[in-house]
Chains A and B, each alone.
Chain A
Protein backbone atom coordinates (compact mmCIF):
# COMPACT_ATOMS: atom_id res chain seq x y z
CA UNK A 1 0.00 0.00 0.00
CA UNK A 2 1.21 3.50 -0.82
CA UNK A 3 -0.19 6.27 1.30
CA UNK A 4 -0.87 9.53 -0.48
CA UNK A 5 -0.27 12.54 1.74
CA UNK A 6 -3.28 14.79 1.30
CA UNK A 7 -2.42 17.30 4.00
CA UNK A 8 0.56 18.86 2.27
CA UNK A 9 1.16 22.51 3.31
CA UNK A 10 0.73 23.69 -0.27
CA UNK A 11 -2.88 22.40 -0.59
CA UNK A 12 -5.22 25.21 -1.72
CA UNK A 13 -7.52 26.92 0.76
CA UNK A 14 -11.17 25.87 0.83
CA UNK A 15 -13.37 28.08 -1.37
CA UNK A 16 -15.31 30.74 0.55
CA UNK A 17 -17.67 32.06 -2.13
CA UNK A 18 -20.69 34.34 -1.77
CA UNK A 19 -23.77 32.10 -2.14
CA UNK A 20 -26.11 32.70 -5.08
CA UNK A 21 -29.04 34.92 -4.05
CA UNK A 22 -32.66 34.05 -4.90
CA UNK A 23 -34.71 37.26 -4.48
CA UNK A 24 -37.75 36.04 -6.42
CA UNK A 25 -38.21 33.08 -4.13
CA UNK A 26 -38.61 35.50 -1.26
CA UNK A 27 -41.10 37.63 -3.19
CA UNK A 28 -43.20 34.58 -4.09
CA UNK A 29 -43.13 33.28 -0.53
CA UNK A 30 -44.26 36.64 0.88
CA UNK A 31 -47.14 36.87 -1.60
CA UNK A 32 -48.30 33.35 -0.73
CA UNK A 33 -48.08 33.98 3.01
CA UNK A 34 -50.17 37.16 2.64
CA UNK A 35 -52.83 35.28 0.64
CA UNK A 36 -52.99 32.46 3.17
CA UNK A 37 -53.30 34.88 6.08
CA UNK A 38 -56.09 36.74 4.30
CA UNK A 39 -57.94 33.47 3.65
CA UNK A 40 -57.55 32.30 7.24
CA UNK A 41 -58.75 35.67 8.56
CA UNK A 42 -61.75 35.51 6.27
CA UNK A 43 -62.56 31.96 7.32
CA UNK A 44 -62.14 32.71 11.02
CA UNK A 45 -64.48 35.71 10.94
CA UNK A 46 -67.08 34.13 8.63
CA UNK A 47 -70.07 32.96 10.69
CA UNK A 48 -71.04 30.35 8.07
CA UNK A 49 -68.06 28.17 9.00
CA UNK A 50 -69.49 27.78 12.51
CA UNK A 51 -66.20 27.34 14.30
CA UNK A 52 -67.79 26.92 17.71
CA UNK A 53 -69.81 24.00 16.36
CA UNK A 54 -66.62 22.65 14.76
CA UNK A 55 -64.80 22.81 18.09
CA UNK A 56 -67.75 21.22 19.87
CA UNK A 57 -67.93 18.20 17.59
CA UNK A 58 -64.28 17.67 16.59
CA UNK A 59 -63.65 15.32 19.52
CA UNK A 60 -67.25 14.22 20.01
CA UNK A 61 -67.41 10.59 21.08
CA UNK A 62 -69.51 9.60 18.06
CA UNK A 63 -67.10 11.36 15.68
CA UNK A 64 -63.97 9.71 17.09
CA UNK A 65 -65.76 6.36 17.00
CA UNK A 66 -66.69 7.07 13.39
CA UNK A 67 -63.07 7.89 12.54
CA UNK A 68 -61.98 4.64 14.20
CA UNK A 69 -64.60 2.66 12.26
CA UNK A 70 -63.45 4.27 9.01
CA UNK A 71 -59.84 3.42 9.77
CA UNK A 72 -60.80 -0.17 10.52
CA UNK A 73 -62.80 -0.45 7.31
CA UNK A 74 -59.82 0.91 5.38
CA UNK A 75 -57.19 -1.30 6.96
CA UNK A 76 -59.17 -4.55 6.89
CA UNK A 77 -60.43 -4.13 3.35
CA UNK A 78 -56.99 -3.05 2.08
CA UNK A 79 -55.24 -6.01 3.70
CA UNK A 80 -57.77 -8.38 2.15
CA UNK A 81 -57.50 -6.58 -1.18
CA UNK A 82 -53.69 -6.77 -1.24
CA UNK A 83 -53.64 -10.49 -0.41
CA UNK A 84 -56.28 -11.22 -3.03
CA UNK A 85 -54.57 -8.84 -5.47
CA UNK A 86 -51.28 -10.72 -5.17
CA UNK A 87 -53.07 -14.00 -5.80
CA UNK A 88 -54.88 -12.58 -8.83
CA UNK A 89 -51.75 -10.97 -10.28
CA UNK A 90 -49.72 -14.14 -9.85
CA UNK A 91 -52.56 -16.14 -11.42
CA UNK A 92 -52.70 -13.71 -14.32
CA UNK A 93 -48.99 -14.22 -14.98
CA UNK A 94 -48.90 -17.93 -14.31
CA UNK A 95 -48.26 -20.44 -17.10
CA UNK A 96 -51.53 -22.16 -16.17
CA UNK A 97 -54.32 -21.13 -18.61
CA UNK A 98 -57.08 -21.92 -16.09
CA UNK A 99 -55.59 -19.49 -13.55
CA UNK A 100 -55.11 -16.86 -16.24
CA UNK A 101 -58.73 -16.93 -17.39
CA UNK A 102 -60.19 -16.95 -13.89
CA UNK A 103 -58.10 -13.92 -12.97
CA UNK A 104 -59.07 -12.13 -16.18
CA UNK A 105 -62.78 -12.75 -15.59
CA UNK A 106 -62.52 -11.50 -12.01
CA UNK A 107 -60.92 -8.25 -13.14
CA UNK A 108 -63.44 -7.86 -15.92
CA UNK A 109 -66.39 -8.02 -13.53
CA UNK A 110 -65.05 -6.21 -10.48
CA UNK A 111 -63.38 -3.36 -12.36
CA UNK A 112 -66.22 -3.12 -14.84
CA UNK A 113 -69.01 -2.37 -12.36
CA UNK A 114 -69.26 0.61 -9.98
CA UNK A 115 -68.18 0.01 -6.41
CA UNK A 116 -71.42 1.59 -5.19
CA UNK A 117 -73.46 -0.99 -7.09
CA UNK A 118 -71.27 -3.78 -5.72
CA UNK A 119 -71.76 -2.51 -2.18
CA UNK A 120 -75.54 -2.45 -2.65
CA UNK A 121 -75.33 -6.04 -3.89
CA UNK A 122 -73.32 -7.15 -0.87
CA UNK A 123 -75.91 -5.44 1.34
CA UNK A 124 -78.64 -7.41 -0.42
CA UNK A 125 -76.72 -10.69 -0.20
CA UNK A 126 -78.72 -11.95 2.83
CA UNK A 127 -81.91 -11.21 0.90
CA UNK A 128 -80.76 -12.90 -2.31
CA UNK A 129 -79.14 -15.91 -0.65
CA UNK A 130 -81.18 -16.51 2.45
CA UNK A 131 -78.91 -19.21 3.79
CA UNK A 132 -75.58 -20.87 3.10
CA UNK A 133 -75.27 -24.64 3.01
CA UNK A 134 -72.18 -26.72 2.70
CA UNK A 135 -72.57 -30.22 1.37
CA UNK A 136 -72.91 -32.43 -1.68
CA UNK A 137 -75.05 -30.78 -4.40
CA UNK A 138 -78.53 -32.34 -4.27
CA UNK A 139 -77.20 -34.54 -1.49
CA UNK A 140 -76.74 -34.27 2.27
CA UNK A 141 -75.80 -30.96 3.88
CA UNK A 142 -73.08 -30.74 6.52
CA UNK A 143 -73.30 -27.09 7.43
CA UNK A 144 -76.12 -24.60 7.47
CA UNK A 145 -75.98 -20.84 8.07
CA UNK A 146 -79.00 -18.56 8.04
CA UNK A 147 -77.75 -15.29 6.55
CA UNK A 148 -80.92 -13.36 7.28
CA UNK A 149 -80.56 -14.00 10.98
CA UNK A 150 -77.16 -12.27 11.05
CA UNK A 151 -76.56 -8.56 11.34
CA UNK A 152 -73.29 -8.12 9.52
CA UNK A 153 -73.23 -4.82 7.63
CA UNK A 154 -69.67 -4.09 8.82
CA UNK A 155 -68.40 -7.42 7.46
CA UNK A 156 -70.32 -7.01 4.21
CA UNK A 157 -68.89 -3.51 3.80
CA UNK A 158 -65.36 -4.87 4.21
CA UNK A 159 -65.97 -7.72 1.78
CA UNK A 160 -67.53 -5.36 -0.77
CA UNK A 161 -64.72 -2.84 -0.59
CA UNK A 162 -61.99 -5.51 -0.56
CA UNK A 163 -63.26 -7.49 -3.54
CA UNK A 164 -63.55 -4.35 -5.63
CA UNK A 165 -60.16 -3.04 -4.59
CA UNK A 166 -58.48 -6.41 -5.21
CA UNK A 167 -59.10 -6.01 -8.94
CA UNK A 168 -57.22 -2.71 -8.96
CA UNK A 169 -54.46 -4.02 -6.68
CA UNK A 170 -54.02 -7.00 -9.00
CA UNK A 171 -53.13 -4.69 -11.88
CA UNK A 172 -50.75 -2.62 -9.73
CA UNK A 173 -49.01 -5.78 -8.54
CA UNK A 174 -48.87 -7.17 -12.06
CA UNK A 175 -47.18 -3.99 -13.23
CA UNK A 176 -44.68 -4.33 -10.39
CA UNK A 177 -43.94 -7.95 -11.22
CA UNK A 178 -43.49 -7.14 -14.90
CA UNK A 179 -41.01 -4.40 -13.99
CA UNK A 180 -38.55 -6.96 -12.58
CA UNK A 181 -36.05 -7.91 -15.30
CA UNK A 182 -36.45 -11.38 -16.80
CA UNK A 183 -32.87 -12.24 -15.85
CA UNK A 184 -33.93 -12.31 -12.20
CA UNK A 185 -36.40 -15.14 -12.60
CA UNK A 186 -34.02 -16.86 -15.01
CA UNK A 187 -31.22 -16.80 -12.44
CA UNK A 188 -33.60 -18.15 -9.80
CA UNK A 189 -34.78 -20.92 -12.11
CA UNK A 190 -31.20 -21.81 -12.94
CA UNK A 191 -30.53 -22.17 -9.21
CA UNK A 192 -33.26 -24.78 -9.04
CA UNK A 193 -35.99 -22.62 -7.48
CA UNK A 194 -39.59 -23.46 -8.28
CA UNK A 195 -41.85 -20.90 -9.95
CA UNK A 196 -43.60 -20.11 -6.67
CA UNK A 197 -40.38 -19.67 -4.75
CA UNK A 198 -38.98 -17.46 -7.51
CA UNK A 199 -42.04 -15.24 -7.21
CA UNK A 200 -41.93 -15.13 -3.43
CA UNK A 201 -38.21 -14.73 -2.81
CA UNK A 202 -36.91 -12.96 -5.91
CA UNK A 203 -39.59 -11.22 -7.93
CA UNK A 204 -42.13 -9.87 -5.43
CA UNK A 205 -39.58 -8.27 -3.06
CA UNK A 206 -38.12 -6.39 -6.02
CA UNK A 207 -41.55 -5.55 -7.40
CA UNK A 208 -42.43 -3.88 -4.09
CA UNK A 209 -40.50 -0.75 -5.02
CA UNK A 210 -42.83 -0.25 -7.97
CA UNK A 211 -45.93 -1.48 -6.13
CA UNK A 212 -45.80 0.67 -2.99
CA UNK A 213 -46.35 4.22 -4.32
CA UNK A 214 -49.56 3.42 -6.25
CA UNK A 215 -50.68 1.22 -3.35
CA UNK A 216 -50.28 4.24 -1.07
CA UNK A 217 -52.60 6.03 -3.47
CA UNK A 218 -55.07 3.18 -3.23
CA UNK A 219 -55.03 3.13 0.58
CA UNK A 220 -55.73 6.84 0.76
CA UNK A 221 -58.36 6.53 -1.92
CA UNK A 222 -59.90 3.62 0.01
CA UNK A 223 -60.04 5.73 3.18
CA UNK A 224 -62.34 8.08 1.33
CA UNK A 225 -64.23 5.39 -0.60
CA UNK A 226 -65.37 4.01 2.76
CA UNK A 227 -67.85 6.90 2.79
CA UNK A 228 -69.83 4.85 0.22
CA UNK A 229 -70.56 2.02 2.65
CA UNK A 230 -73.86 3.70 3.35
CA UNK A 231 -74.96 1.66 0.32
CA UNK A 232 -74.67 -1.60 2.30
CA UNK A 233 -76.12 0.12 4.48
CA UNK A 234 -73.45 0.68 7.10
CA UNK A 235 -73.79 4.10 8.71
CA UNK A 236 -71.25 4.26 11.53
CA UNK A 237 -68.28 5.42 9.41
CA UNK A 238 -66.86 8.93 9.74
CA UNK A 239 -68.82 10.49 6.92
CA UNK A 240 -72.05 8.74 7.87
CA UNK A 241 -71.78 9.95 11.47
CA UNK A 242 -70.87 13.54 10.69
CA UNK A 243 -73.26 14.13 7.81
CA UNK A 244 -76.31 12.03 8.54
CA UNK A 245 -76.10 11.33 12.23
CA UNK A 246 -75.15 14.84 13.41
CA UNK A 247 -75.31 17.48 10.63
CA UNK A 248 -78.78 16.59 9.44
CA UNK A 249 -80.09 16.88 12.99
CA UNK A 250 -78.58 20.21 13.92
CA UNK A 251 -78.88 21.67 10.40
CA UNK A 252 -75.24 22.78 10.27
CA UNK A 253 -73.53 20.89 7.45
CA UNK A 254 -70.47 23.12 6.96
CA UNK A 255 -68.75 22.77 10.36
CA UNK A 256 -69.36 19.02 10.37
CA UNK A 257 -67.95 18.65 6.88
CA UNK A 258 -64.89 20.43 8.24
CA UNK A 259 -64.80 18.00 11.16
CA UNK A 260 -64.90 15.05 8.76
CA UNK A 261 -62.26 16.63 6.50
CA UNK A 262 -59.97 17.22 9.49
CA UNK A 263 -60.16 13.59 10.53
CA UNK A 264 -59.66 12.27 7.00
CA UNK A 265 -56.61 14.50 6.65
CA UNK A 266 -55.23 13.37 10.01
CA UNK A 267 -55.58 9.68 9.17
CA UNK A 268 -54.08 10.22 5.70
CA UNK A 269 -51.05 11.91 7.29
CA UNK A 270 -50.48 8.92 9.54
CA UNK A 271 -50.76 6.54 6.57
CA UNK A 272 -48.22 8.60 4.61
CA UNK A 273 -45.68 8.18 7.40
CA UNK A 274 -46.18 4.43 7.18
CA UNK A 275 -45.63 4.54 3.42
CA UNK A 276 -42.35 6.42 3.90
CA UNK A 277 -40.89 3.66 6.08
CA UNK A 278 -42.16 0.87 3.83
CA UNK A 279 -40.55 2.50 0.81
CA UNK A 280 -37.29 2.86 2.62
CA UNK A 281 -37.28 -0.80 3.61
CA UNK A 282 -37.94 -2.11 0.11
CA UNK A 283 -35.38 0.16 -1.58
CA UNK A 284 -32.55 -1.93 -0.09
CA UNK A 285 -29.80 -2.32 -2.65
CA UNK A 286 -31.44 0.07 -5.10
CA UNK A 287 -28.66 2.64 -4.93
CA UNK A 288 -24.90 2.59 -4.80
CA UNK A 289 -24.99 4.78 -1.72
CA UNK A 290 -23.73 3.00 1.36
CA UNK A 291 -26.12 2.44 4.22
CA UNK A 292 -25.40 3.94 7.63
CA UNK A 293 -24.40 0.52 8.90
CA UNK A 294 -21.96 -0.04 6.05
CA UNK A 295 -20.45 3.44 6.50
CA UNK A 296 -19.92 2.71 10.18
CA UNK A 297 -18.22 -0.58 9.38
CA UNK A 298 -15.96 1.11 6.83
CA UNK A 299 -15.09 3.92 9.23
CA UNK A 300 -14.23 1.34 11.87
CA UNK A 301 -12.06 -0.54 9.38
CA UNK A 302 -10.25 2.72 8.62
CA UNK A 303 -9.58 3.26 12.31
CA UNK A 304 -7.97 -0.16 12.38
CA UNK A 305 -10.61 -1.83 14.53
CA UNK A 306 -11.43 -5.45 13.85
CA UNK A 307 -14.63 -6.36 11.98
CA UNK A 308 -17.68 -6.79 14.16
Chain B
Protein backbone atom coordinates (compact mmCIF):
# COMPACT_ATOMS: atom_id res chain seq x y z
CA UNK B 1 0.00 0.00 0.00
CA UNK B 2 1.32 3.45 -0.86
CA UNK B 3 1.99 5.73 2.10
CA UNK B 4 -0.40 8.64 2.64
CA UNK B 5 2.33 11.25 2.35
CA UNK B 6 5.56 10.65 0.50
CA UNK B 7 8.12 13.44 0.24
CA UNK B 8 11.22 12.96 -1.90
CA UNK B 9 13.94 15.59 -1.69
CA UNK B 10 11.39 18.40 -1.37
CA UNK B 11 12.94 21.84 -1.80
CA UNK B 12 11.32 25.22 -1.46
CA UNK B 13 12.91 28.61 -1.81
CA UNK B 14 11.55 32.14 -1.73
CA UNK B 15 13.85 33.97 -4.11
CA UNK B 16 17.37 33.47 -2.83
CA UNK B 17 16.16 32.19 0.54
CA UNK B 18 16.24 28.41 0.70
CA UNK B 19 13.69 27.32 3.28
CA UNK B 20 13.50 23.59 2.53
CA UNK B 21 16.67 21.87 1.38
CA UNK B 22 15.55 18.39 0.45
CA UNK B 23 13.03 16.87 2.82
CA UNK B 24 12.49 13.15 2.46
CA UNK B 25 9.96 11.40 4.65
CA UNK B 26 6.93 9.14 4.63
CA UNK B 27 3.71 9.08 6.60
CA UNK B 28 1.83 5.79 6.52
CA UNK B 29 -1.94 5.48 6.55
CA UNK B 30 -3.39 6.14 9.98
CA UNK B 31 -0.04 7.36 11.25
CA UNK B 32 0.65 10.55 13.16
CA UNK B 33 3.82 12.43 12.32
CA UNK B 34 4.93 15.26 14.60
CA UNK B 35 7.37 17.86 13.37
CA UNK B 36 9.38 19.85 15.87
CA UNK B 37 12.21 22.29 15.56
CA UNK B 38 13.18 25.91 16.12
CA UNK B 39 11.16 28.65 14.42
CA UNK B 40 12.32 29.33 10.88
CA UNK B 41 13.39 25.73 10.42
CA UNK B 42 10.83 25.20 7.62
CA UNK B 43 8.27 23.02 9.43
CA UNK B 44 5.29 25.20 8.54
CA UNK B 45 6.51 25.72 4.99
CA UNK B 46 6.75 21.96 4.50
CA UNK B 47 3.23 21.55 5.87
CA UNK B 48 1.96 24.22 3.46
CA UNK B 49 3.67 22.43 0.58
CA UNK B 50 1.68 19.30 1.33
CA UNK B 51 -1.59 20.98 0.37
CA UNK B 52 0.04 23.19 -2.24
CA UNK B 53 -0.44 26.49 -0.42
CA UNK B 54 3.22 26.79 -1.40
CA UNK B 55 4.58 25.41 -4.64
CA UNK B 56 7.45 22.95 -4.39
CA UNK B 57 10.56 24.01 -6.37
CA UNK B 58 12.33 20.67 -6.54
CA UNK B 59 11.69 17.10 -5.50
CA UNK B 60 8.38 15.31 -5.46
CA UNK B 61 5.52 15.32 -2.98
CA UNK B 62 2.81 12.68 -3.16
CA UNK B 63 -0.41 12.48 -1.16
CA UNK B 64 -2.19 9.15 -1.48
CA UNK B 65 -0.09 8.45 -4.57
CA UNK B 66 -1.04 11.71 -6.31
CA UNK B 67 1.72 14.14 -7.23
CA UNK B 68 0.94 17.47 -5.56
CA UNK B 69 0.82 20.66 -7.62
CA UNK B 70 2.01 19.22 -10.93
CA UNK B 71 0.90 16.90 -13.67
CA UNK B 72 3.50 14.34 -14.65
CA UNK B 73 3.40 14.01 -18.45
CA UNK B 74 6.32 11.62 -18.79
CA UNK B 75 9.12 13.89 -19.92
CA UNK B 76 8.10 17.09 -18.16
CA UNK B 77 6.06 18.31 -15.22
CA UNK B 78 3.22 20.69 -16.02
CA UNK B 79 1.93 23.25 -13.52
CA UNK B 80 -1.49 22.26 -12.30
CA UNK B 81 -4.49 24.48 -13.01
CA UNK B 82 -5.99 26.21 -9.95
CA UNK B 83 -9.13 24.12 -10.42
CA UNK B 84 -7.23 20.83 -10.20
CA UNK B 85 -5.17 22.08 -7.26
CA UNK B 86 -8.39 22.98 -5.45
CA UNK B 87 -9.67 19.47 -6.13
CA UNK B 88 -6.55 17.97 -4.51
CA UNK B 89 -6.95 20.18 -1.45
CA UNK B 90 -10.49 18.97 -0.78
CA UNK B 91 -9.08 15.73 0.57
CA UNK B 92 -6.56 17.43 2.83
CA UNK B 93 -7.79 19.24 5.94
CA UNK B 94 -5.75 22.01 7.47
CA UNK B 95 -5.85 23.63 10.90
CA UNK B 96 -4.05 26.92 11.41
CA UNK B 97 -2.22 28.48 14.34
CA UNK B 98 -4.61 31.44 14.36
CA UNK B 99 -7.74 29.35 13.62
CA UNK B 100 -8.75 31.52 10.62
CA UNK B 101 -12.44 30.90 11.21
CA UNK B 102 -14.75 33.03 9.07
CA UNK B 103 -15.79 35.78 11.51
CA UNK B 104 -18.98 36.66 9.64
CA UNK B 105 -20.35 33.12 9.95
CA UNK B 106 -21.51 31.24 13.02
CA UNK B 107 -19.72 28.10 14.18
CA UNK B 108 -22.15 25.89 12.29
CA UNK B 109 -22.06 28.08 9.17
CA UNK B 110 -18.26 27.87 9.22
CA UNK B 111 -18.47 24.09 9.17
CA UNK B 112 -21.10 23.69 6.45
CA UNK B 113 -19.64 26.36 4.15
CA UNK B 114 -17.21 24.18 2.20
CA UNK B 115 -19.30 20.99 2.05
CA UNK B 116 -22.22 22.92 0.55
CA UNK B 117 -20.36 25.27 -1.79
CA UNK B 118 -17.35 23.18 -2.75
CA UNK B 119 -18.69 19.64 -2.67
CA UNK B 120 -22.31 20.44 -3.41
CA UNK B 121 -23.68 18.58 -0.39
CA UNK B 122 -27.38 19.26 0.28
CA UNK B 123 -27.92 21.80 3.03
CA UNK B 124 -29.90 19.49 5.33
CA UNK B 125 -27.24 16.80 5.12
CA UNK B 126 -24.44 19.31 5.70
CA UNK B 127 -26.20 20.77 8.74
CA UNK B 128 -26.79 17.34 10.22
CA UNK B 129 -23.16 16.40 9.70
CA UNK B 130 -22.04 19.81 11.02
CA UNK B 131 -24.02 19.37 14.23
CA UNK B 132 -22.61 15.90 14.60
CA UNK B 133 -19.05 17.25 14.23
CA UNK B 134 -19.71 20.05 16.73
CA UNK B 135 -20.89 17.38 19.11
CA UNK B 136 -17.71 15.40 18.54
CA UNK B 137 -15.56 18.39 19.48
CA UNK B 138 -17.82 19.08 22.45
CA UNK B 139 -19.38 22.31 21.21
CA UNK B 140 -22.95 21.42 20.26
CA UNK B 141 -24.11 24.29 22.50
CA UNK B 142 -22.18 26.82 20.42
CA UNK B 143 -23.59 26.13 16.97
CA UNK B 144 -25.03 29.63 16.60
CA UNK B 145 -22.18 31.54 18.22
CA UNK B 146 -19.93 33.75 16.12
CA UNK B 147 -16.17 33.08 16.40
CA UNK B 148 -15.61 36.35 18.29
CA UNK B 149 -17.89 35.00 21.02
CA UNK B 150 -15.82 31.84 21.49
CA UNK B 151 -12.63 31.28 23.46
CA UNK B 152 -9.45 30.43 21.58
CA UNK B 153 -9.74 26.75 22.43
CA UNK B 154 -13.35 26.65 21.28
CA UNK B 155 -12.46 28.43 18.05
CA UNK B 156 -9.70 25.94 17.33
CA UNK B 157 -12.07 23.02 17.95
CA UNK B 158 -14.57 24.57 15.53
CA UNK B 159 -11.72 24.94 13.03
CA UNK B 160 -10.91 21.24 13.40
CA UNK B 161 -14.58 20.38 12.87
CA UNK B 162 -14.62 22.62 9.79
CA UNK B 163 -11.67 20.74 8.30
CA UNK B 164 -13.22 17.37 9.16
CA UNK B 165 -16.49 18.32 7.45
CA UNK B 166 -14.80 17.76 4.09
CA UNK B 167 -14.05 14.14 5.08
CA UNK B 168 -10.32 14.52 4.47
CA UNK B 169 -7.99 11.53 4.27
CA UNK B 170 -5.17 13.60 5.74
CA UNK B 171 -5.15 16.34 8.37
CA UNK B 172 -2.45 18.98 8.65
CA UNK B 173 -2.03 20.91 11.90
CA UNK B 174 0.13 24.04 11.88
CA UNK B 175 1.01 24.77 15.52
CA UNK B 176 -2.63 24.35 16.52
CA UNK B 177 -2.09 25.21 20.19
CA UNK B 178 0.58 27.91 19.97
CA UNK B 179 -1.89 30.80 20.12
CA UNK B 180 -3.84 29.39 23.06
CA UNK B 181 -3.82 30.09 26.79
CA UNK B 182 -2.12 27.20 28.60
CA UNK B 183 -5.38 26.06 30.18
CA UNK B 184 -7.07 25.80 26.78
CA UNK B 185 -4.31 23.74 25.14
CA UNK B 186 -5.58 20.52 26.69
CA UNK B 187 -9.04 20.65 25.15
CA UNK B 188 -7.62 21.01 21.64
CA UNK B 189 -5.02 18.28 22.14
CA UNK B 190 -7.80 16.07 23.51
CA UNK B 191 -9.76 16.41 20.28
CA UNK B 192 -6.62 15.71 18.24
CA UNK B 193 -5.80 12.64 20.33
CA UNK B 194 -9.29 11.27 19.76
CA UNK B 195 -8.90 11.88 16.05
CA UNK B 196 -5.61 9.98 16.03
CA UNK B 197 -7.06 6.99 17.84
CA UNK B 198 -9.89 6.92 15.29
CA UNK B 199 -7.25 6.30 12.62
CA UNK B 200 -6.89 9.70 10.97
CA UNK B 201 -3.56 10.30 9.24
CA UNK B 202 -2.09 13.45 10.70
CA UNK B 203 0.95 15.67 10.20
CA UNK B 204 1.35 17.96 13.19
CA UNK B 205 3.76 20.85 13.60
CA UNK B 206 3.88 21.39 17.33
CA UNK B 207 5.86 22.39 20.38
CA UNK B 208 3.84 20.07 22.62
CA UNK B 209 6.41 17.37 23.35
CA UNK B 210 4.01 15.55 25.67
CA UNK B 211 1.51 15.19 22.85
CA UNK B 212 4.24 14.08 20.44
CA UNK B 213 5.50 11.46 22.85
CA UNK B 214 2.06 10.09 23.55
CA UNK B 215 0.35 10.21 20.16
CA UNK B 216 2.94 10.36 17.38
CA UNK B 217 4.22 7.30 15.54
CA UNK B 218 7.06 9.30 14.15
CA UNK B 219 8.87 12.40 15.35
CA UNK B 220 10.84 14.55 12.93
CA UNK B 221 13.27 17.17 14.15
CA UNK B 222 13.94 19.88 11.58
CA UNK B 223 16.50 22.63 11.57
CA UNK B 224 17.55 25.07 8.84
CA UNK B 225 15.46 23.35 6.18
CA UNK B 226 16.66 19.79 6.66
CA UNK B 227 15.49 16.80 8.67
CA UNK B 228 18.15 16.46 11.34
CA UNK B 229 16.75 13.44 13.07
CA UNK B 230 13.65 11.29 12.97
CA UNK B 231 12.28 8.17 14.55
CA UNK B 232 9.86 6.93 17.20
CA UNK B 233 9.20 9.88 19.54
CA UNK B 234 10.25 8.10 22.71
CA UNK B 235 13.66 7.30 21.25
CA UNK B 236 14.27 10.74 19.75
CA UNK B 237 13.14 12.54 22.87
CA UNK B 238 14.99 10.28 25.29
CA UNK B 239 18.20 9.67 23.35
CA UNK B 240 18.70 12.35 20.71
CA UNK B 241 21.66 11.44 18.50
CA UNK B 242 22.45 14.81 17.02
CA UNK B 243 23.94 17.81 18.84
CA UNK B 244 21.35 20.23 17.48
CA UNK B 245 18.51 18.01 18.58
CA UNK B 246 20.03 17.76 22.04
CA UNK B 247 20.44 21.54 22.27
CA UNK B 248 16.87 22.16 21.15
CA UNK B 249 15.30 19.54 23.40
CA UNK B 250 17.25 20.73 26.43
CA UNK B 251 15.56 24.10 25.99
CA UNK B 252 11.98 22.92 25.47
CA UNK B 253 11.72 19.89 27.72
Contacts and interface: CB of A to CB of B under 8 A. Distances in A.
Given A183-B98, A186-B100, A286-B103, A192 B89 contact: yes
Contacts of B224: none
A206 B86 CA distance: 22
B96 A187 contact: yes
Interface stretch (A15-23, A40-48, A243-251, A287-295): A287-295
Nearest to A209: B104
A56 interface: no
A183 B148 contact: no
A297 B144 CA distance: 10
Given A191-B89, A193-B86, A286 B117 contact: no
B130 to A, nearest CB: 14
A192 B86 contact: yes
A191 B82 contact: no
A11 to B, nearest CB: 29
B118 interface: yes
Contacts of B87: 192
B118 A183 contact: no
Interface in A185-206: 186-187, 189-195, 197, 201-202, 205-206
A183 B166 CA distance: 19
Interface in B26-55: 51, 53
A184 B103 CA distance: 9
B149 A192 contact: no
Given A190-B53, A193-B117, A205-B104, A285 B86 contact: no
B83 interface: yes
10 contacts: A183-B98, A189-B53, A190-B94, A191-B113, A192-B118, A194-B83, A195-B82, A197-B117, A201-B113, A206-B102
Given A186-B53, A193-B114, A290 B86 contact: no
A190 B51 CA distance: 7
A192 B147 CA distance: 21
Interface of A: 181, 183-184, 186-187, 189-195, 197, 201-202, 205-206, 282, 284-288, 290, 294, 297
Contacts of A284: 104, 146
Given A190-B94, A192-B114, A193-B118, A184 B82 contact: no
Given A190-B89, A191-B90, A288-B149, 10 more contacts: A183-B98, A186-B53, A190-B96, A191-B113, A192-B86, A192-B89, A192-B118, A192-B119, A284-B104, A297-B144
Q: Which one of B92, B106, B113 has the greatest number of beta carbons of chain A within 10 Å?
A: B113
B105 interface: yes
B157 interface: no
A184 B147 CA distance: 13
B103 A201 contact: no
Given A186-B96, A201-B113, A192 B102 contact: no
Contacts of A202: 102
B158 to A, nearest CB: 12
A191 B86 CA distance: 8
Contacts of A191: 89-90, 113-114, 118, 162-163, 166
Closest 8 CB pairs of A and B: A192-B90, A285-B146, A187-B100, A183-B100, A191-B114, A190-B94, A192-B89, A285-B103
A6 to B, nearest CB: 23
A215 B186 CA distance: 45
Nearest to B97: A183
B117 A290 contact: no
Nearest to B87: A192
B89 A187 contact: no
Q: Which one of A192, A202, A205, A297 has the greatest number of beta carbons of chain B within 10 Å?
A: A192
A201 B117 contact: yes
Contact of B82 (A194, A201, A290): A194
Contact of B118 (A197, A287, A294): A197
B104 A285 contact: yes
Contact of B148 (A190, A285, A294): A285
Contacts of A290: 149
A288 B90 CA distance: 31
B86 A184 contact: no
A206 B118 contact: no
A187 B53 CA distance: 10
Contacts of B100: 181, 183-184, 186-187
B145 interface: yes
B51 to A, nearest CB: 6
Nearest to B92: A190
A155 to B, nearest CB: 37
A194 B86 contact: yes
A183 B82 contact: no
